[in-house]
Amino acid sequence: MKIKGTETSKPANVRKSKRIDYYSKIYCTKSIQEGRTEEYDVPIELMLINISIGGLGIISERIFEKDTVLVLDLKLEEVKYEKVYAKVMWVMKMGDMYRHGLEIFNVSGRLYKHLGALDNSIRTTV
């Protein structure tokens, strides 16, 4: 069954940078879709599964449609980053969960340097 805003597979060959396996809980504080903003009194917990300089791979119990902008709070190696904006590029249903590919579009200098410093050997679980 196809769900609106989902893809049956990830887009091929659109990666701008290499993904690194990185496992952590991150939190969505707000979503923006078609001009409608939804703020969450209790942030939505998401599971980060991989990361790159330009994007994030997440798994969620909740579906976010393609082109939705998420405002995220995350921690990388004990460094907190707040109000990271990421756009949903694709969605794939996985059993009762949803896998999302996100593109970060306001990468701060500090976050950009941190992401650039991560290498392929890092595998972190939080």
H helix count then E strand count, the chain: 1, 6
Lowest-pLDDT choice from 5-9, 22-26, 32-36, 85-89: 5-9
Query: Which one has a higher pLDDT value, 9 or 32?
Result: 32
Q: What is the pLDDT of residue 7?
A: 46
pLDDT, averaged across the chain:
85
Closest by Cα among 66, 63, 67, 71 to 98? 63
Q: How much is the average pLDDT of 23-35?
A: 97
- Measured at the alpha carbon of residue 13, what is the angle toward residues 11 and 55, in degrees to the nearest 5? 75
Binned at pLDDT 50, 70 and 90, residue 17 comes out as: low
Separation between Cα atoms, residue 106 and residue 112, nearest integer Å: 10
Q: Is-contact 5 65, C-beta < 8 A?
A: yes
Q: What is the pLDDT of residue 35?
A: 92
- The structural domains of the chain, ordered by start, are 20-117 (2.40.10.220)
Closest by Cα among 29, 92, 105 to 66? 92
Residue 97 scores a pLDDT above 80: yes
